[in-house]
């Protein structure tokens, strides 16, 4: 059950990212707009995007926690996962606080002052950092990635021998050196949250 929830995190996380960023920017833009019609339109768009973003943040955090508990990883990726988790929790707390401020200032046009505006900018910065760290788990540590696709079939090399697809395939197909020439390496030990090694 937890593993299935964890697989949903890469899908669900895009909703709060898009909605909270657009909601925050629309809300900030409403404070800068001079024309009343544009200001009102920005306020409505910002309010609805922000509300939906906060609601979508909760399942994203839940599935992220499930992924943290179940995804296969080693010690270096565990450190990266923990860093991402900590930033995500801090970001969630900040946006829950922002949601409270938005509700309290709903009749004044949120963000109504420098404190709310600064708090919102800080939340958007946290959101960007957390998203970057999450992408880093996939693109640097390869968490959740099944395998690298081989460049096979006509047209897949794009007619360019220097294309990265071809270079990767050449490295994959290269004959490994003799065992005596290969220095001994210690495989990373699987990390576990419950005492049983994760599968790799």
Please say if the pLDDT value at position 88 is more than 70: yes
Q: Please report the pLDDT score of residue 151 as a whole number.
A: 56
112 or 52: whose pLDDT is higher? 52
User: What is the C-alpha to C-alpha distance for residues 168 and 139, in angstroms, rounded to an integer?
Assistant: 16
| CA distance readout (Å), 155 to 134, 152, 171 | 33, 8, 19
- Confidence at 137, pLDDT banded by 50, 70, 90: confident
Percent of the chain with pLDDT over 70: 70
pTM above 0.85, yes or no: no
- Residue tagged 């906060």 (tokens): 54
- Confidence at 152, pLDDT banded by 50, 70, 90: low
Six token digits for residue 126: 């946290």
Six token digits for residue 193: 């949250």
Hey, where are the domains in the chain? 2-139
Each residue's pLDDT tens digit, 7-61: 788 889 999 999 999 998 998 888 888 888 888 898 889 889 998 999 999 999 9
User: What is the C-alpha to C-alpha distance for residues 137 and 77, in angstroms, rounded to an integer?
Assistant: 7
Average pLDDT over residues 100-117: 75
52 or 113: whose pLDDT is higher? 52
């Amino acid at each position: 059950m937890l593993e299935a929830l964890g697989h949903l995190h890469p899908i669900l996380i895009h909703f709060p990212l898009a909605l909270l960023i657009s909601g925050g920017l629309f809300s900030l833009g409403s404070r800068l707009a001079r024309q009343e019609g544009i200001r009102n339109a920005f306020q409505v768009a910002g309010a609805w995007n922000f509300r939906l973003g906060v609601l979508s943040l909760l399942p994203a955090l839940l599935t992220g926690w499930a992924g943290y508990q179940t995804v296969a990883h080693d010690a270096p990726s565990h450190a990266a996962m923990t860093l991402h988790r900590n930033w995500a929790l801090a970001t969630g707390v900040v946006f829950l606080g922002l949601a409270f401020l938005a509700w309290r200032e709903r009749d004044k046009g949120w963000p109504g002052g420098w404190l709310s505006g600064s708090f919102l900018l800080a939340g958007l910065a946290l959101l960007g950092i957390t998203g970057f760290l999450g992408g880093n788990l996939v693109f640097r540590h390869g968490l959740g990635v099944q395998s690298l696709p081989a460049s096979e079939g006509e047209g897949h090399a794009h007619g360019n021998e220097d294309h990265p697809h071809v270079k990767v395939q050449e490295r994959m197909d290269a004959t490994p050196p003799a065992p005596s020439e290969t220095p001994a390496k210690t495989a990373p030990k699987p990390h576990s949250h419950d005492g049983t090694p994760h599968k790799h």
